[in-house]
Amino acid sequence: PMGSERMEMRKRQMSTTQETPGAAQAQHSAGNRGSNACCFCWCCCCSCSCLTVRNQEEERARRTSHELQAEGIPNCEESPAPTLEEVNAWAQSFDKLMLTPAGRNAFREFLRTEFSEENMLFWMACEELKQESNKSVIEEKARLIYEDYISILSPKEVSLDSRVREVINRNMLEPSQHTFDDAQLQIYTLMHRDSYPRFMNSAIYKDLLRSLSEKSIEA
């Protein structure tokens, strides 16, 4: 009869469905046991040697990156807390922002979030070089500035055009306080045109302005 045939077919289907997961699981386990390339399976445990090696490499890479970022970066300049008048003045011009240590520190904090703090560091190093008069000190500082910010091998290399680089290479034959003047001006212009407008719209500037405004009202 048709009814008994349908029941028989249904039993066979149910039996096949129940057997399939177990068979698949057994096949999957056997495949894993038969291969040492455990990094390509979905069921690796945390004690897997391949994963351990990978985690160690990632940790080493993170540590190296952090050390590179921290290496050679001076602390922020010492300065009193900015006043509300000073912070308002920063919005008037980039020159006024760069005129005070507090302005440069706030701008540096913003540049750090954009991974371009080397521009400010280079500009500050050039300003420091201009204050030197001792020939041997000038030569040493010029060499360090070149290695830190001009060399294409440096992780803190600043963006300069080929003309300015040629000028620097000529100047480095006999370094002076003004070896990097053209490069410093180019980086100053870059920060003014590119980063300064974003800084004025950033949370760093707006939060500082709001905080000082609230203190002024309370006083």
Looking at the domain assignment, is residue 152 inside a domain?
yes
Looking at the domain assignment, is residue 118 inside a domain?
yes
Terminal C-alpha separation, the chain: 98
Residue 46's identity, in one-letter code, is C
Instruction: Return the structure tokens found at 92.
Output: 């008037």
Spatial separation of the C-alpha atoms in residues 211 and 205, rounded to whole Å: 10
Is residue 132 a contact partner of residue 177, using CB atoms and an 8 Å limit?
A: yes
Residues in the chain: 219
Looking at the domain assignment, is residue 47 inside a domain?
no
Looking at the domain assignment, is residue 76 inside a domain?
no
Look at residue 22 in the predicted model and tell me its pLDDT: 47
Looking at the domain assignment, is residue 139 inside a domain?
yes
Place of tokens 């020939």: 135
Contacts of 218 (CB under 8 A, 6+ apart): none
Look at residue 99 in the predicted model and tell me its pLDDT: 96
Looking at the domain assignment, is residue 6 inside a domain?
no
Note down pLDDT in tens along the chain; length 219 residues: 544 454 555 555 555 544 444 444 444 444 444 444 444 333 444 444 444 444 544 444 444 333 333 344 456 778 789 999 999 999 999 999 999 999 999 999 999 999 999 999 999 999 999 999 999 999 999 999 999 999 999 999 999 999 999 999 999 999 999 999 999 999 999 999 999 999 999 999 999 999 999 988 886
Look at residue 15 in the predicted model and tell me its pLDDT: 54
Look at residue 197 in the predicted model and tell me its pLDDT: 98
Looking at the domain assignment, is residue 48 inside a domain?
no
- Secondary structure (3-state) at 97: helix
Is residue 150 a contact partner of residue 160, using CB atoms and an 8 Å limit?
A: yes
Is residue 14 a contact partner of residue 23, using CB atoms and an 8 Å limit?
A: no
Q: Which domain holds residue 167?
A: 84-216
Look at residue 133 in the predicted model and tell me its pLDDT: 95
Place of tokens 């212009």: 189
- In whole angstroms, how far apart are CA 1 and each of 5, 11, 14, 15, 90? 7, 16, 21, 22, 94
CATH of the domain at 188: 1.10.167.10
What is the tally of structural domains in the chain?
Answer: 1
Look at residue 167 in the predicted model and tell me its pLDDT: 96
Looking at the domain assignment, is residue 27 inside a domain?
no
Is residue 74 a contact partner of residue 203, using CB atoms and an 8 Å limit?
A: no
Look at residue 217 in the predicted model and tell me its pLDDT: 87
